[in-house]
Amino acid sequence: MSKTVILWALAAIAGMVLVAGVTYAASGLSSQSIGLASEPLRAGEDLAPAATDDTATTGASARAAARRRAAARRAAARARAERRRAARARGTATPSAVPTAAPTAVPTIADDHSGSGSDDSGSDDSSGRGRGRGRGGDD
pLDDT reported for residue 115: 59
34 CB-contact burial (10 Å; exposed 0-12 / middle 13-18 / buried 19+) = exposed
pLDDT tens figures, 55-109: 556 777 888 889 999 999 999 999 999 999 888 888 754 556 667 777 777 777 7
pTM beyond 0.85: the answer is: no
* C-alpha gyration radius of the chain: 45
- Phi-psi map region of 122: left, alpha, beta (phi>0 left; psi -120 to 50 alpha): left
Cα distance between residue 10 and residue 13, in whole Å: 5
Confidence of residue 19 (pLDDT cuts 50, 70, 90): very high
Q: What percentage of the chain exceeds 90 in pLDDT?
A: 28
Cα distance between residue 139 and residue 126, in whole Å: 10
Cα distance between residue 23 and residue 35, in whole Å: 23
